[in-house]
Structure 1
């Protein structure tokens, strides 16, 4: 979608949003025209985002009143924070079956091997703090 917004000259509006002047009564007609143009582009970007998302995602962005706000909601939903990413990765790894020496499977929450050990310790510490 970013590429589409760039091609339509909307990316700056989506990324930065529209800032309204504190006192619009002192604005010139040219400034008011530019502001109206930015508002129109913001509405256009919001429309494109709303029509592009899957039906199950629409309720999450339906409260957004600007393209930037809708875009931020989608970023959080799909990219998540680093903490969320590591927790979900750890959860997936822990859900994998563990094969024992006698070739039987079990799901275990024992301390994971090697590369996950640091994430595991971080997860335990974070969970204890919350």
Structure 2
């Protein structure tokens, strides 16, 4: 552990659902303890040479300890049911790969999942009763699921989706953005907040108008 005293809490427990999220969290957790290289390395632990010097003995012992720490991190981050799948693994790398093989799915399965998610993304449209934030949240769920499967998904693409599928009542606001500044120079959150502010003003004006009719 680093000398700064940083000590992350216990890792998320994987129960068989949400593997793609768990694996990202676990990678960060292992990195926090300088243990990710133990999982990442393809090299197996070499046996100690004959007649080793003290430095070689210490290095070998440290490498064994690191593997035990990494294995412990993996074991405490899975439920008992998942643990039975990896308890026979002799190294943390074997345990990691075992979980990956079982829960990440085959390349063909992931490709089909990506196709379905891309289709979902293209078919998204804002409902009349939705706020722009609710709609953007729906878009982000699909976009982030695509990212979790390893595909790059830019913010620009999400912004283009939002702009191209908004109802007509937002056309004036989008046009004013295009006239005053390049849409590529603003962030998604800036765009959503500006559109949400317009919604709030419209709702307030409508409420005042309704009150004035009584």
The TM-score range, normalised by the shorter chain, is 0.5 to 0.7
- Alignment of structure 1 residues 41-52 onto 2, 5 Å: 41-52=66-77
- 1:16 Cα deviation from its structure 2 partner: 1.4
Structure number with greater Rg is 2
Asked if 1 retains the 8 angstrom alpha-carbon contact of 2:48 and 2:57, the reply is: no
- Alignment of structure 1 residues 5-16 onto 2, 5 Å: 5-16=30-41
What is the TM-score normalised by the length of structure 2? Answer: 0.37
What is the TM-score normalised by the length of structure 1? Answer: 0.59
Aligned residues: 90
Separation in 1, partners of 2:36, 2:45: 18
Separation in 2, partners of 1:5, 1:34: 20
C-alpha spacing 1:8/1:84, structure 2 compared with 1 (3 Å): same
- Alignment of structure 1 residues 46-85 onto 2, 5 Å: 46-85=71-110
Gaps of 5+ in 1: 91-130
C-alpha spacing 1:29/1:51, structure 2 compared with 1 (3 Å): same
- 1:86 Cα deviation from its structure 2 partner: 5.0
Separation in 2, partners of 1:23, 1:61: 26
* Residue number in structure 2 paired with 1:40: 65
Gaps of 5+ in 2: 1-25, 116-214
- 1:15 Cα deviation from its structure 2 partner: 1.6
C-alpha spacing 1:26/1:81, structure 2 compared with 1 (3 Å): farther
Asked if 2 retains the 8 angstrom alpha-carbon contact of 1:61 and 1:70, the reply is: yes
C-alpha spacing 1:86/1:7, structure 2 compared with 1 (3 Å): same
- 1:22 Cα deviation from its structure 2 partner: 5.4
Separation in 1, partners of 2:40, 2:83: 20
C-alpha spacing 1:70/1:44, structure 2 compared with 1 (3 Å): same
Asked if 1 retains the 8 angstrom alpha-carbon contact of 2:35 and 2:70, the reply is: yes
| Alignment deviations for residues 25-51 of structure 1 (CA, whole Å, 9 cap, x no partner) | 153221221111011110111111111
